[in-house]
Structure formats: C-alpha cells, structure tokens
Structure 1
Amino acid sequence: MNLLRAASTVSLLTLASRITGLVREQMVAAAFGASVMTDAFNVAFRIPNLLRRLFAEGAFSQAFVPLLAESRARDGDEATHALIDAVATVLLWALLVTCVLGVVGAPVLVWLMAQGLQKSGGFDVAVAMTRFMFPYIGFMSLVALSAGILNTWKRFAVPAATPVLLNLSFIAAAWWGVPHFKAWGIEPIYALALGVMVGGMLQLAVQLPALKRIGALPSFGLSVARLRRAWHHPGVHRVLKQMAPAVLGVSVAQISLLINTQIATQIGAGAVSWLTYADRLMEFPTALLGVALGVVLLPQLSATQAEGGSERYAALLDWGLRLVVLLALPCAVALIVFPEALVSVLYHRGAFSAFDVHQTVTALRGYGAGLLGLVALKVLAPGFYAKQDIRTPVKVAIVVLVLTQLLNLLFVPRLGHAGLALSIGCGALVNALWLLIGLYRRGSWRPAPGWLAFGSKVLVASLLMGAGLTWAAQTFDWVALGARELQRAGTLAAVLLAAAVLYFGTLLALGVRVRHFARRG
C-alpha cells in the first residue's frame, strides 16, 4: 500500500467533509450570526462531542486500534473477529447507560460547562438541546468502533467520507428546517439539533455495509448472558486497561475545553460562537493534514511494532513529520497574515456582521499561532499509542493543561476571547515539542538526513507566500467587498491559487519533489 496515496485519499475525502462543513457554518452564521441562541447550541453540541472525544474517537480508539492491529497481525482474522464482537457488546451496553444518564443530568452538565448562559437567557434552551442531542454520543461511538476496524483492514475511504453526512444533514436543517420551525412557532435553533441527530444516524448507517463487505460486522450481544461472556474476553480487559490512562489523557483536553467554554460565556454573548467559527476554520488544515496522517499511521505503526521493525517505525514517523512541516507551516502563515479575507468570504452575510468578522479574526490568529503543533500532535501521539504507551502523552497533557490555564490568566484580560485561542495554540506547540523530544530520546524517532536543508526550503517558501498574502490582505477591503459577493469570492480564489503556485513553485525551484514523500506500507 502506498502510504502517501492512502493519506491523500483520506485527505481528499476529509476535504469534501470540511468544504461541506464550511457551507454548513456559512448557513448557520447567515441565519443566526453570533448570538445567545448560537452560544446555547454550541454549548449543547459540545457536551456530546466532549464525551465522543473522551470515550469514542479519543480514549477508545487509542486503546482499541493498536490492540486490533496486533491481534490481526499475530492471531489472525478469526480471533480478531471474536475480539470485535466482545468489545462491541460491552461498548453498546455502556453507551445505553451513558445516554440515559446524560438525558437525565443535562441541566447539571450545562451548568458545569456554561454558567454564563444563565445571565444571557440561553440556559434552558441549551438544556433542552442537550437532552435531544445526547444520544448522538451513542451513534458516534459506534462509528468510531467501525472506523477503527475499517482502518485496520486498510479501508480508509468510508470512515473519512462519513462526516460529510453530518454536514449535509446540518445544511438541510438550516435550509429547510429553520424557516419551517419559524412558521410552526418553534425556536428555529432547534432545527440544528434535529440535524445533528439525523446526521449521527446516517454516519452509522453507511459504515455497516462496509463492515459486512470485509466480514467484520460486529455481532452485538443484547442479552445479559452475552454481556457476561463478552466481559470475560481477555481483549476487553486489555482495552479497558489501556483506556484508563487514555481517558485521563483525553480528559485533560476536554477539561481545558470545559474551562475555556466557561470563561467564554463569562466574557459576553457571542464569544462562544466567535471561537466556534474560528475553530471550524482552524480544523480545516488540522483535519486535512493531521487527521489524515494519524488515521493512516496508527494502524501501520501498530502493525510494525507487533512485527518488531524498529527502523521502519522510526522511518514512518519521520515521513509523517516531514509532511506536517511541508503542509502545516504555510497554512499557519496564511491563518496569521490572511484571516480577514477567509472569515469575510466564508461568513460575512446575513446576521453575521462586520464586528463578528473582526472578533472571529482575532480568535483565528490565536489558533493559527499553534497550528503546527496541533497538526504535529496527530502524528506524534500515535508514535506512543502504537507502542501501547498512553501514560507518557497523558503526563505531558496534564502539564500542558496547567500551562494553558496560566496563559489564560495572562492573555484573556488583554485579548478577551482571542486569548483563549492563543493559549490553546501555545499549549499545542509545547505539547508537540515535548512528545517529539520523548520519541527521540527513546529511539522511536530518528531524524533522517537532510532535515535542516528541507526545513530551510519550506521556511523560505512559506515566508515568500506570507509576503504575498500580506500584500493581498492590505490591498483589498475584504469586508467592504461583501457588497459584491461574487467579486469577493473570485478575488479570494485567485489570491489563494497564486499563493499556492508561489509556495509550491518555490519548493520546486529549491529541489523539493513530491516523489520524495512516496512511501509504501
């Protein structure tokens, strides 16, 4: 398997997801702007997403995928299918209990995350939407189980494409649901909550045929007797044992999110929404680069670890890190020097005002400062997970959590909501550097020859591109161009195309070739 081609496939499908995600955010921004209702929705949506990252895509995947890859490499498909059935059964029962508790305890959860909504009047709306959307965690945890299986079988396309369905469901809710809810006398923001639930069901539904095609469709045990048998499977206990430190590690990031959300709700109405809109833009390169590399690398690293190939392990990490520098550094430069154009073209219409553009831009610059670290973590963390070492990233994450909150004390009084984004960015850089040093010290990563020359070429190309984007940022009044939407969008497209040609053309002139990154796994 060509790893660059696999990563490119995942990245292209993720691109489709992020494009539809941006369309979704455009429609939400135009319909609601940045208001108390959007703050309430974002808080309500963050609660199941927090648990999803905690138990599904986070701790569960980190513990399950390496074990699954090891089982398939050492014990064969039959034993691996037994492991899948046992884990799926225990997971399903855990999700049923979690969803019931979440629906009942929604007021407490919203209070813990966003007390400030009590002042602005969005608290009860957030509680109602939390109750309605909480089962989303169940759908997405099963999607994470399915994605882990498909990625281990090197079927990357379906898991990478499924997020598009959530975005399409959102778009339908904003386009069709919002006006209908208004006509029916229902608060329009509830249409988005309905879109979330439909999107979760659709994502799970498309995974099942893909699992059936590879003969790995889980057999869920709905009886107590099946649950007991599944619980006694040794693989389940290994997953749970690995999940314990992973839960702590992912909890650190989610605790940081919870604290930041609390702070944002205290800053004032709109702060949560500005950060969310900026976060969506920041996630565009993070997902295209970091997530794609992480999805491809984790099962490959896990299989290599099981086979004892230390040199290949180090080479895989080095390959991933070079791609991170090649693609994330220019994206970081663009987010820092050219954010107003991006935010204006994507969001500035309808209820989303020029003031909202400015506030979102300041947050986006903060995220951009740490983009390289945020993307690198998607490669560095699997370097530990594949060796079933989750404790080291956890220890680092705890220290970074403390550092991030100390930075909030410094930045937030001066920068407001943008200080929260900058603290997250700085924390990500420290986290990534710490993990990189850890991998180097234990010999898991050894820089291949030519790093200094390669890094210098990327830096030169990024600076030239940044100079061109700075000129474009100062030459055009991107907010005023909103009166001529097509002209503004066309100008942005031309500037970004010219920036890409300048960046990659410079790299080509300096001797960097795509074939240098071709690698088979």
Structure 2
Amino acid sequence: MSLVRKFATVASGTLMSRILGFAREMLMAAALGTGPVAGAFYAAFQFPNTFRRLFAEGAFNSAFVPLFAKEIEANGIDGARRFSEEVFGVLFSVLTVLTILMELAMPLLVRTIIAPGFASDPQKYELTVALATIMFPYLMCMSLAAMMAGMLNSLRRYFAAAIAPVFLNVILIAVLGHAWYTGADSLEVGYAMAWGVMAAGVVQLAIVWIAARRAGISIGFRRPRMTPNVKRLLWLALPAAITGGITQINTLIGTAIASGQDKAVPALAQADRFYQLPLGVVGIAVAIVLLPELARALKAGNDGEAASLQNRSVEFVLFLTLPATAALLVISEPIVRVLYERGAFTSDDTVLVSSILAVFGLGLPAFVLIKAFTPGYFAREDTKTPMVFAAISVAINITIALTLFPRMGAPGIAVASVVAGWANALMLLVVLIRRGHWGHDAPLMRRIPRLVLSSALMGAALYGGAVWLSPWLAPPASLLAQTGSLALLCAAGALVYFVLAFATGGADAGMVRRNVRRGSAAPAGTEE
C-alpha cells in the first residue's frame, strides 16, 4: 500500500470527523454563541480532551506503536497479543484510579487549573465543575481506544481507528438537533452535550475493540504486573505523552489564562476548530502512518528508506498546509461569518474569532511539521529529547501568553501558541540534522520556496476574490448565497494554487509518482 494511500485512508476518516465537527460547532455557536454556558462547556471538555491526547494519543501512538511493531516482527501475532494484554492490565488499572481521583478533586481542579478565572462567577464555576465531572470518564474510554487504534495501525488496518472519532460528532450533532427540536434552553443543552461526550467515548471504544478482534488480537484482562515490556513502555510513554500532546498542553494553558476574560474561552475553542481541520487531516494522518513505517524501516536496518519516508512526508504536508495558511490569513473573517454568524453568534463574535484564526494560521505549518518530525525520534525510541523541546515550548507559551493577554486579549494567547509551535518545530529539525537522522533532499529544498511563492500568490488572488464577492459573503445575502460564494472562492483559490505549484516547479509529476510509489508490501490480510 503506497504511503499516500495510507495517509489518505487515515485522512479520509479524519476529514469526515472534522467536517462533522464544523457542523457541530455551527449548531453550538447558533445555540450558545460565546456566552457563559459555551465557556463552561469548552473549558470542561478541554480537560479530559487534553488528558486523552497526553496519555492516549501521545503516549500510545508514540511509545506503544514501535514496541508493538517490534513484537510482531520478533514474536508474531501471539507475542504481540501477550504484550498487549500486559499493557492493557496496567493501563486499565491506572486509568480507573486516575478517574476516581480526578472526579473527587474536580472542584479544586477547576478553580486552580482548568478555569481559575471562573471562580469569581459561582454559577459559571459550578456549571464547569458539573460538566467536567460528567465528561472526565471519556478519558478512560478514549485511552483504551487509543491502545486498540495503535495496534490496528501497526497491523496496517487504518480505517476503523480513523472512522471511530466521527461518532463523537455524530452523537453531539444528534444531541443538538434534539435540543433544537424540543426548544431546550442553553443550560439543558450544556448538560446534554456533556452526556453526549460520555456516550461517544463508549461507542468509539466499542468500534476499535471489535476491529482489533477481527484483526486477530483478542485481549483478555491480566492482573497488572510490571513486566520488562511494560516497564520499557512506561519509560518511553511518559516523555512521549508530554511531547505528543504539546499542542493540547499549550491549549489547556491558554484556556486557563483566557478564563479571566468574558468570551475568550469559547472564542479560542471556535477558532481552534478551523485550523484543526488541516492539522488533523494532514498532520495527524502523517504522524499515525509515518511512525510504524519508520519503525519497520529502522528495525530492518534500512536507513535510506527511513530518510526517504521522512522527506516525502514533509514534502506532502507542506504541499497541502502552506496554501491553508495563506487562506486562513486572508479570508478568516468571511469563513467565520458564513459558518458561524447566526443565532446567538454576533458580528462582534465574528471579528474576535476571525482575528484569533488568522494568527493560528501562521502556526499551522509548525504544528503540522511537529507531527512529521517527532516520529523520527519516537521510531528510534528516543522520547526524552522531544520532551525537553516540548517543555521549552510550554515555557515560551506561558511567558508570551501572560505578557500579551492583558494587552491583546484572546489573540495574544494565539500568538503565544504560534511562537511556541515554531520554536518546537525548529528545535526538532535542527537536532535531527545534527544527529544525521535527516537526509539532505535537494528536490525538497528547491520546492519549499516555490510552494511558499505559490501560496502567497494564491493568497493575493483570494484577497481580490473576497473583495469582489463581499456583497454575497455577508448579510443581507441569504445563507445559500453566502455558502455558495465561499465555496466558489475556496475552489478558485485551490485551482490557482495547484496551477502555480506545478507551473513554478513546487510540484511535478515526478513528486506525485514518488509519493504514490508502493512501499514494502503489507502482510496478507492486514490492509483495510
């Protein structure tokens, strides 16, 4: 299966999830705007979601996957199953204890970590505590699901793990639709959404559990024991969890700081939804696929293939994310207005959210490159170096956010996140080069400036198009006219970019052929 086809398999599920996520956010914005219930829900959900990225996606897609892949190579499916059962016993026990402790400490956590700014508003504070208490068990479901997903990815069965997150948005859209149909008030919507998140966690776990059984990995519960394999995993997982969840750590910090200002928390969350689309579709898909592929190449002693995989991945992510960056910088306000501005979401909210989104756009290449660079460390079982860089970027983020927030408000937090992201990406790249783990690729170096130029010219075309279409991109134009105009603008921008990219040599037929070239054949029965 070609590298791009694997990316596409993961990206298609992620794309579906992100599109439905937009639909969910549009319904939430219309129902709650940037009001107090929206702020409480976003702050409460951010906490278990951050832990999920730290202990689930970060740890297991970075530490578990290489070890599981090596078990398959060394001891076959039976050895991998034994290793999985050892890990499952420890993970389940740790998550149970963690969930109980967090539930008991939730009032203190909200007041000191999650949203300290809400403490001065008793109603908002109590609502945030209640919603966070309902949603925190979602962490346990998703952590176990992430383990199953890591196993499936190592077996090159990407579809089930990619499609499972779609059901979070399907369930929450159904909840919002029912709330609209019954005329529920904002408080009822908030509680219904929290229970919907909990239900979605159970559904997603069931999907990957069944897929793992169909793949031949039926896991039974074993008494938790610190076997050598489990110790090795934990030794790798802690720094990997911090590194893999660095964007979420910075987001959690930003949420805590933003809680001191009205509307800042939901505005940051709503802007985050937009740039998470290209980040999720491209960056996360590349990271999920690249890690096990790199681990296999290095295990086989094929350093040339490993270097090629890394370069082709960077080539792929820059080809797709640089134009997205230009678009977010130029047309963030029309995007937010068309997709969000209705119901409780006002024109003032549009200005605030679009200003944050434009800043996030500047950091998009960095956030995606981090996803492409870190597998180069994790596949070699080096999780400490990226953790150190992650810690430095967190310090940068906190310092800049605390400095800029009093002057700029929520956009200042976005600036801090972007600067921290670029610092992290550059540190990862420099050390890979110094260690000789990043092969020099002349075609890639030639293409990058040409892709930047193509994206800049596309941005200029988008700006002109937005001015020309402005009467149809805002009220009093109908929603159909606004949506159609925005779709036309985006399609024209994409066409301009692809024409320029190929005309300038930023992309060519040879690049396409290399990216679709088949790699090592997958074991029989492992493709999905």
| TM class by smaller structure | over 0.9
Question: Alpha-carbon deviation of 1:360?
Answer: 0.2
Give per-residue Cα distances to partners, 1:57-94, cap 9 Å, x unaligned: 11233211111111112222211110011111111111
Q: Contact between 1:340 and 1:473, CA under 8 Å: does it hold in 2? A: no
Structure 1: unaligned runs, 5 residues or longer: none
Q: Contact between 2:56 and 2:241, CA under 8 Å: does it hold in 1? A: no
CA distance in 2, matches of 1:390, 1:12: 29
> Does residue 166 of the first structure (1) align with residue 161 of the second (2)?
no
Question: Alpha-carbon deviation of 1:508?
Answer: 2.6
Q: Which residue of structure 1 aligns with residue 526 of structure 2?
A: none
Q: Which residue of structure 2 aligns with residue 509 of structure 1?
A: 503
Q: Secondary structure at the match of 1:187?
A: helix
In the superposition, the TM-score normalised over structure 1's length comes to 0.94
Give per-residue Cα distances to partners, 1:347-398, cap 9 Å, x unaligned: 1111111011000011101111111000111110111111110111111111
CA distance in 1, matches of 2:242, 2:187: 40
CA distance in 2, matches of 1:118, 1:409: 19
> Does residue 117 of the first structure (1) align with residue 97 of the second (2)?
no
- Cα separation, partners in 2 of 1:76 and 1:202, compared to 1, 3 Å: same
Q: Which residue of structure 1 aligns with residue 86 of structure 2?
A: 86
Out of 141, 147, 171, the position equivalent to 1:145 is 147
Question: Alpha-carbon deviation of 1:410?
Answer: 4.2
Q: Which residue of structure 2 aligns with residue 53 of structure 1?
A: 53
Q: Supply the AA of the counterpart residue of 1:13.
A: G
Question: Alpha-carbon deviation of 1:438?
Answer: 1.0
> Does residue 438 of the first structure (1) align with residue 431 of the second (2)?
yes
Question: Alpha-carbon deviation of 1:519?
Answer: 3.5
CA distance in 2, matches of 1:328, 1:186: 38
Q: Contact between 2:283 and 2:369, CA under 8 Å: does it hold in 1? A: yes
Question: Alpha-carbon deviation of 1:498?
Answer: 0.6
Q: Which moved more, 1:107-116 or 1:491-500?
A: 107-116
- Cα separation, partners in 2 of 1:237 and 1:470, compared to 1, 3 Å: same
CA distance in 2, matches of 1:376, 1:477: 37
Q: Which residue of structure 1 aligns with residue 189 of structure 2?
A: 188
CA distance in 2, matches of 1:326, 1:251: 24
> Does residue 299 of the first structure (1) align with residue 292 of the second (2)?
yes
> Does residue 456 of the first structure (1) align with residue 449 of the second (2)?
yes
CA distance in 1, matches of 2:359, 2:40: 23
Question: Alpha-carbon deviation of 1:19?
Answer: 0.5
> Does residue 11 of the first structure (1) align with residue 11 of the second (2)?
yes
CA distance in 2, matches of 1:389, 1:478: 52
Q: Contact between 2:152 and 2:212, CA under 8 Å: does it hold in 1? A: yes
CA distance in 1, matches of 2:213, 2:242: 33
Question: Alpha-carbon deviation of 1:134?
Answer: 1.2
Q: Supply the AA of the counterpart residue of 1:75.
A: N
How do 1:362-373 residues align onto structure 2 when only pairs under 5 Å count?
Answer: 362-373=355-366
Give per-residue Cα distances to partners, 1:130-159, cap 9 Å, x unaligned: 111111001100110111000000001111
Q: Secondary structure at the match of 2:156?
A: coil
Q: Contact between 2:297 and 2:305, CA under 8 Å: does it hold in 1? A: yes
Question: Alpha-carbon deviation of 1:249?
Answer: 3.7
CA distance in 2, matches of 1:395, 1:160: 30
Q: Contact between 1:41 and 1:129, CA under 8 Å: does it hold in 2? A: yes
Q: Supply the AA of the counterpart residue of 2:150.
A: G
CA distance in 2, matches of 1:455, 1:56: 33
Q: Supply the AA of the counterpart residue of 1:159.
A: A
Question: Alpha-carbon deviation of 1:181?
Answer: 7.7
Give per-residue Cα distances to partners, 1:287-324, cap 9 Å, x unaligned: 01101111110110111121121111111110111112
Q: Supply the AA of the counterpart residue of 1:510.
A: T
CA distance in 1, matches of 2:171, 2:454: 39
CA distance in 2, matches of 1:346, 1:482: 15
> Does residue 490 of the first structure (1) align with residue 484 of the second (2)?
yes
CA distance in 1, matches of 2:160, 2:456: 37
> Does residue 281 of the first structure (1) align with residue 274 of the second (2)?
yes
Q: Which residue of structure 2 aligns with residue 353 of structure 1?
A: 346
Q: Secondary structure at the match of 1:10?
A: helix
CA distance in 2, matches of 1:101, 1:410: 33
Q: Contact between 1:69 and 1:152, CA under 8 Å: does it hold in 2? A: yes
Give per-residue Cα distances to partners, 1:372-428, cap 9 Å, x unaligned: 000111110111111110111111111112222232244323321001011111211
Q: Supply the AA of the counterpart residue of 2:174.
A: A
Q: Contact between 2:58 and 2:242, CA under 8 Å: does it hold in 1? A: no
Give per-residue Cα distances to partners, 1:259-294, cap 9 Å, x unaligned: 32221011x221000000000001000001101111
Q: Which residue of structure 1 aligns with residue 394 of structure 2?
A: 401
How do 1:373-392 residues align onto structure 2 when only pairs under 5 Å count?
Answer: 373-392=366-385
- Cα separation, partners in 2 of 1:407 and 1:474, compared to 1, 3 Å: farther
Q: Contact between 1:274 and 1:356, CA under 8 Å: does it hold in 2? A: yes
Q: Contact between 1:181 and 1:187, CA under 8 Å: does it hold in 2? A: no
Q: Secondary structure at the match of 1:57?
A: helix
Q: Contact between 1:373 and 1:432, CA under 8 Å: does it hold in 2? A: yes
- Cα separation, partners in 2 of 1:444 and 1:244, compared to 1, 3 Å: same
Q: Which residue of structure 2 aligns with residue 157 of structure 1?
A: 159
Q: Supply the AA of the counterpart residue of 2:492.
A: A
Q: Supply the AA of the counterpart residue of 2:147.
A: L
Q: Supply the AA of the counterpart residue of 1:213.
A: R
Question: Alpha-carbon deviation of 1:244?
Answer: 2.9
Q: Contact between 2:148 and 2:212, CA under 8 Å: does it hold in 1? A: yes
CA distance in 1, matches of 2:471, 2:193: 33
Question: Alpha-carbon deviation of 1:447?
Answer: 2.5
Question: Alpha-carbon deviation of 1:483?
Answer: 4.3
Question: Alpha-carbon deviation of 1:516?
Answer: 3.9
Q: Which moved more, 1:252-261 or 1:125-134?
A: 252-261
Q: Secondary structure at the match of 1:426?
A: helix
Q: Which moved more, 1:478-487 or 1:39-48?
A: 478-487
CA distance in 1, matches of 2:472, 2:368: 28
Out of 174, 177, 201, the position equivalent to 1:175 is 177
Q: Secondary structure at the match of 1:189?
A: helix
CA distance in 2, matches of 1:336, 1:288: 19
> What RMSD over aligned residues (CA atoms) do the two structures have, in Å?
1.8
CA distance in 1, matches of 2:23, 2:247: 27
Q: Contact between 1:348 and 1:479, CA under 8 Å: does it hold in 2? A: no
Q: Supply the AA of the counterpart residue of 1:242.
A: L
Q: Secondary structure at the match of 1:500?
A: helix
Q: Which residue of structure 2 aligns with residue 198 of structure 1?
A: 199
Question: Alpha-carbon deviation of 1:470?
Answer: 1.1
Number of equivalences: 512
Q: Which residue of structure 2 aligns with residue 337 of structure 1?
A: 330
- Cα separation, partners in 2 of 1:254 and 1:326, compared to 1, 3 Å: closer
Out of 260, 264, 267, the position equivalent to 1:271 is 264
Q: Which moved more, 1:211-220 or 1:511-520?
A: 511-520
Give per-residue Cα distances to partners, 1:103-127, cap 9 Å, x unaligned: 1111112112212112243100011
**Percent of aligned pairs with the same amino acid:** 37
Q: Which residue of structure 2 aligns with residue 519 of structure 1?
A: 517
Q: Which moved more, 1:171-180 or 1:71-80?
A: 171-180
Q: Supply the AA of the counterpart residue of 1:363.
A: I
CA distance in 1, matches of 2:451, 2:249: 35
Q: Contact between 1:85 and 1:220, CA under 8 Å: does it hold in 2? A: yes
Q: Secondary structure at the match of 1:387?
A: coil
Q: Which residue of structure 1 aligns with residue 408 of structure 2?
A: 415
Q: Secondary structure at the match of 1:116?
A: helix
Out of 225, 231, 239, the position equivalent to 2:233 is 239
Q: Supply the AA of the counterpart residue of 1:290.
A: G
Q: Secondary structure at the match of 2:189?
A: coil
